[in-house]
């Protein structure tokens, strides 16, 4: 996110204001009419010159206020009559705002008459205090001053925008979002507020609204590098790598050494398995901006760290000590957790992961245990065996869809990669289709199975989504883990589709979830007690699907057995899908395809067993999870 301290970088505006005051022609005596007429022409020329000199500064409201304040003060110092100073300042304001007399471009003019003259006069001083507070990182103080400004002038769009920035620095993202939205309501074309809104929405996991805000910002200014980079990161989160790459490359054409754009390209390269290229791009980002915490944190995801990487740890600790945004600290703490885990320092690893989750929990919607239990109850009630055995009009006989489901971090990416390595299969990644359908038709689908009309619509639309995959693929894997919740609807729509459920030790899978930075929508991963509750409900709903779905369409794949007997289980999986055996699936780590999940590095490695029983290294830290030992994987 572009920090709004740039808003306060008014040094050039102050210099120009002083220079304009020094160049301003002295007013003519009232008795000398000829000279007065000439002076009027001089003033018009001066105003035109002022507009030309100020235009390159791209004045926002604050800079414009500083320019005018300096101009006015300098004229008064020169001994120019105050009434004349007030008039020429007003005319200069009109010139700088495109000829709109009375435009609320300065802090003083932003205040309504009802606020009182004294209150209006305080606004520039208050904004100056905000500037100083932001510079010394007193964000709580800045919020107080900004709220004072907004009491004087509730429609002060710049103050609202800066307020949003200060709230972001305090980790209060929901309040920041409200401030940015209010600023945009007042000035819908303000690209800075749109950029900031798009960024904070991405931080909150609201990716589609983030995309909308950032595209609006770019529409206002097609050369807005920060908005292009922000859009690239949002599109990356939506698994739209091609579009994201275009955004990053366009940003680099405008600003060749932009750290955020280089970072984004580095992340995309790692998704494609091009780790050396990713390392090079992240290094370039750090050369451009040594304090780019994003690039620093992402480096640990490219390989297993060793004690020889102590310089990486020192760099991360140096960034934290210097002060970073809460969202940047989250990222660095997750990265430090991985570093310590890789080198075997488990107490420090857990402490870093716990700090990261606590930070993220502050701005996530709290996990609702009762709502989760109610949902599972409804799925069990609405989709009994008898109903699922009925084949309705609107269902599809296609065997192209393959659903690889399970808890996050249970091995679903590994199984998808195995299947996608077969010449007649493809991996579609984590499609949001069924989760979105469950949300869109929530009131219907949680009361009864879809009727034939809705069923037909769901199947047709889903097949269109699968058609975006390579046409030669006879099987296409959808590995969205949240499809575990919707297997009743999925089987009604595609009774011939195959479902593979990854079973992994509940303690291992929950610990792995706690150690991974997900979007805040996965709010149950941020607290060990919430994780334990979510897993029990997940276990309950999957046990129901296992009991009511035909055995020929549902296959349990035990993760521990898969990694212990790669070929044996790979053969079972391929046969279950009705495909001929192909030895390429044993070389899954060599398959070239984008993997936009947290396991993008792991699926590029040969099969390994080191993750089995990992929880034992952290047993003394994970009390709430230990209660899950009574559940079979």
Show Cβ contacts of residue 68 under 8 Å, excluding neighbours closer than 6 positions.
17, 89, 92, 93, 96, 106
Domain boundary among 220, 240, 267: 220
CATH value at residue 66: 1.25.40.10
Distance CA 599, CA 611 (A): 13
CATH value at residue 383: 3.40.50.300
Distance CA 430, CA 479 (A): 5
Q: Is residue 114 one of the residues assigned to a domain?
A: yes
Distance CA 185, CA 160 (A): 11
DSSP type of residue 397: -
Q: Is residue 347 one of the residues assigned to a domain?
A: no
Domain boundary among 220, 236, 264: 220
Q: Is residue 429 one of the residues assigned to a domain?
A: yes
Judged by DSSP in three states, 558 sits in strand
Domain boundary among 220, 242, 264: 220
Q: Is residue 427 one of the residues assigned to a domain?
A: yes
List per-block mean pLDDT (blocks of 10 residues) for the chain, which spans 633 residues: 48 74 66 48 75 65 70 77 78 65 36 55 86 90 92 90 92 92 91 93 90 95 93 92 94 94 93 88 93 91 90 94 90 96 96 95 89 95 90 90 94 91 91 89 84 92 87 88 94 96 95 89 92 96 96 95 92 96 84 49 52 87 92 73
**CB-based contact 291:325 (threshold 8 Å):** no
**CB-based contact 203:363 (threshold 8 Å):** yes
Cα 398 to chain centroid, rounded: 35
Q: Is residue 272 one of the residues assigned to a domain?
A: no
Burial class (CB in 10 A: 0-12, 13-18, 19+), 150: middle
Please give the C-alpha separations between residue 389 and each of 52, 138, 199, 355, in angstroms, as whole numbers: 76, 63, 47, 48
Q: Is residue 165 one of the residues assigned to a domain?
A: yes
Which residues form the domain of 493?
369-630
Distance CA 560, CA 569 (A): 11
DSSP type of residue 586: G
Q: Is residue 161 one of the residues assigned to a domain?
A: yes
Tell me what pLDDT residue 333 has: 96
* Domains in the chain, number: 2
Tell me what pLDDT residue 11 has: 60
Q: Is residue 240 one of the residues assigned to a domain?
A: no
**Dihedrals φ, ψ of 609, to 5°?**
-115, 5
Tell me what pLDDT residue 107 has: 39
Tell me what pLDDT residue 97 has: 61
**Dihedrals φ, ψ of 112, to 5°?**
-70, 160
Judged by DSSP in three states, 627 sits in helix
Closest by CA to 84, choosing from 24, 17, 38, is 24
């Amino acid at each position: 996110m572009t920090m709004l301290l740039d808003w306060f970088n008014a040094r050039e505006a102050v210099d120009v204001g002083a220079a304009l005051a020094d160049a301003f022609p002295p007013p003519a005596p009232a008795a000398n009419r000829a000279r007065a007429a000439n002076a009027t022409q001089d003033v018009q020329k001066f105003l035109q010159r002022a507009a030309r000199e100020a235009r390159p500064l791209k004045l926002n409201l604050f800079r414009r206020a500083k320019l005018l304040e300096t101009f006015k003060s300098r004229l008064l110092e020169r001994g120019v009559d105050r009434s004349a100073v007030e008039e020429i300042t007003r005319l200069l304001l009109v010139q700088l705002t495109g000829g709109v007399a009375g435009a609320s471009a300065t802090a003083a003019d932003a205040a309504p008459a009802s606020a009182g003259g004294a209150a209006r006069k305080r606004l520039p001083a208050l904004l100056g205090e905000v500037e100083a507070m932001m510079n010394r990182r007193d964000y709580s103080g800045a919020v107080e001053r900004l709220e004072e400004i907004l009491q004087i002038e509730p429609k002060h769009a710049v103050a609202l925008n800066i307020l949003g920035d200060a709230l972001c620095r305090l980790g209060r993202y929901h309040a920041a979002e409200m401030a940015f939205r209010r600023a945009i309501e007042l000035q819908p074309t303000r690209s800075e507020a749109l950029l900031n809104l798009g960024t904070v929405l991405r931080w909150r996991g609201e990716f589609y609204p983030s995309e909308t805000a950032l595209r609006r910002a770019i529409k206002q200014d097609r050369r807005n590098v920060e908005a292009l980079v922000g859009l690239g990161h949002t599109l990356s989160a939506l698994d739209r790598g091609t579009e994201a790459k275009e955004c990053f490359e366009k940003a680099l054409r405008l600003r060749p050494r932009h750290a955020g754009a280089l970072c984004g390209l580095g992340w995309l390269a790692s998704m494609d398995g091009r780790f050396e290229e990713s390392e090079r791009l992240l290094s370039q980002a750090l050369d451009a901006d040594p304090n780019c915490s994003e690039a620093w944190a992402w480096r640990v995801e490219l390989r297993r760290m060793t004690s020889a990487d102590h310089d990486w740890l020192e760099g991360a600790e140096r960034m934290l000590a210097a002060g970073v945004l809460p969202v940047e600290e989250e990222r660095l703490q997750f990265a430090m957790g991985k570093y310590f885990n890789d080198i075997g320092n488990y107490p420090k690893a857990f402490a870093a992961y716990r700090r990261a989750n606590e930070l993220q929990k502050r701005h996530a919607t709290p996990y609702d245990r009762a709502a989760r239990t109610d949902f599972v109850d409804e799925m069990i009630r609405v989709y009994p065996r008898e109903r699922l055995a009925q084949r309705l009009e609107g269902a599809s006989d296609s065997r192209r869809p393959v659903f690889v489901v399970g808890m996050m971090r249970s091995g679903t990416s590994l199984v998808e990669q195995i299947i996608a390595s077969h010449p007649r299969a493809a991996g579609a990644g984590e499609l949001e289709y069924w989760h979105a359908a469950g949300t869109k038709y929530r009131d219907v689908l949680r009361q009864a199975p879809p009727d034939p009309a809705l069923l037909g619509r769901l199947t047709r639309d889903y097949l269109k989504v699968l058609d975006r995959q390579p046409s030669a693929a006879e099987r296409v894997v959808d590995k969205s883990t949240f499809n575990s919740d919707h297997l009743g609807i999925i089987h009604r729509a595609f009774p011939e589709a195959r479902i593979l459920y990854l079973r992994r030790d509940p303690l291992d899978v929950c610990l792995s979830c706690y150690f991974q930075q997900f979007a805040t929508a996965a709010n149950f991963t941020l607290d060990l007690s919430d994780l334990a509750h979510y897993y029990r409900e997940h276990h309950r709903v999957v046990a129901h699907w296992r009991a009511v779905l035909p055995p020929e369409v549902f296959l349990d794949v035990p993760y521990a057995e898969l990694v212990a007997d790669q070929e044996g289980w790979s053969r079972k999986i391929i046969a279950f899908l009705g495909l001929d055996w192909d030895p390429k699936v044993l070389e899954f780590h060599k398959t070239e395809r984008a993997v936009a999940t947290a396991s993008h590095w792991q699926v590029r490695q040969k099969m390994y067993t080191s993750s089995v029983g990992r929880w034992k290294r952290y047993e003394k830290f994970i009390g709430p999870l230990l209660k899950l030992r009574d559940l079979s994987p």
